[in-house]
């Protein structure tokens, strides 16, 4: 497995990963990707990908992208689900279903945290459903709960 920085050229792959992250629960009915990505809040996560402040890392197997952790700064006026402030990028994470539970998500998370710190960020945030078992991965990486809304937690890691 190879991990490399995400670029503007990864916009289409990151859309497929955003779809996986937004519809993480396999028990939910399958919806069309384009419809999901067109939801007003989700559009904030992918529109104009590659603008200043956007960053992340991509995992590749045999040269093909299989997963990503990527982040973006949101505004008070148009926040993400895990918004804490305008300086703190919010991350998203997904690995293609057939490549899960092999340590890729954990490795990506670690790399993204190192990269964000090198870029000058002091913290990263995220939003996770309480029942999503990726929460354990975040907690092990140093994320802690800062807010709770419905069945979602907002978590922050100081870098």
Ligand X SMILES: CC(C)(COP(=O)(O)OP(=O)(O)OC[C@H]1O[C@@H](n2cnc3c(N)ncnc32)[C@H](O)[C@@H]1OP(=O)(O)O)[C@@H](O)C(=O)NCCC(=O)NCCS
Q: Binding of ligand X at residue 24 (CB under 6 A)?
A: yes
| CA 14 – CA 57 distance, rounded (Å) | 10
Stretch that binds ligand X, among 36-44, 49-57, 72-80, 126-134 (CB under 6 A): 126-134
Q: Binding of ligand X at residue 30 (CB under 6 A)?
A: no
Choice between 23 and 117, CB closer to ligand X: 23
Site string for ligand X, 128-147 (x = CB under 6 A): x---xxx-xx----------
Stretch that binds ligand X, among 27-35, 47-55, 98-106, 142-150 (CB under 6 A): 98-106
Q: Binding of ligand X at residue 73 (CB under 6 A)?
A: no
Helix (H, G, I), strand (E, B) or coil at 118: helix
* Cβ at position 144, least distance to ligand X in Å: 15
Long-range contacts of 14-17 (CB under 8 A, 24+ apart): 14/46, 14/49, 14/56, 14/68, 14/70, 15/46, 17/67, 17/68, 17/70, 17/92, 17/93, 17/94
Closest CA to 79 of 16, 135, 29, 147: 147
Q: Binding of ligand X at residue 21 (CB under 6 A)?
A: yes
* Cβ at position 59, least distance to ligand X in Å: 8
| CA 146 – CA 107 distance, rounded (Å) | 24
In the complex, which residues of this chain contact ligand X (CB under 6 A)?
Answer: 20-21, 24, 93-95, 100-106, 128, 132-134, 136-137
């Amino acid at each position: 497995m190879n991990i490399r920085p995400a670029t503007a050229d990864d916009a289409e792959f990151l859309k497929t990963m955003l779809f996986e992250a937004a519809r993480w629960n396999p028990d939910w009915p399958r919806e069309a990707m384009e419809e999901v990505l067109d939801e007003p809040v989700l559009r904030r996560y992918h529109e104009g990908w590659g603008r200043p402040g956007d960053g992340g890392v991509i995992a590749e197997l045999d040269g093909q992208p299989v997963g990503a952790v990527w982040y973006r700064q949101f505004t008070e006026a148009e926040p993400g689900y895990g918004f804490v402030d305008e300086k703190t990028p919010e991350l998203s994470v997904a690995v293609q279903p057939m490549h899960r539970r092999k340590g890729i998500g954990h490795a990506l998370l670690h790399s993204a945290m190192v990269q964000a710190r090198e870029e000058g960020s002091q913290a990263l945030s995220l939003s996770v459903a309480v029942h999503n078992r990726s929460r354990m991965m975040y907690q092990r990486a140093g994320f802690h709960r800062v807010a709770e809304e419905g069945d979602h937690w907002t978590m922050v890691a100081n870098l």
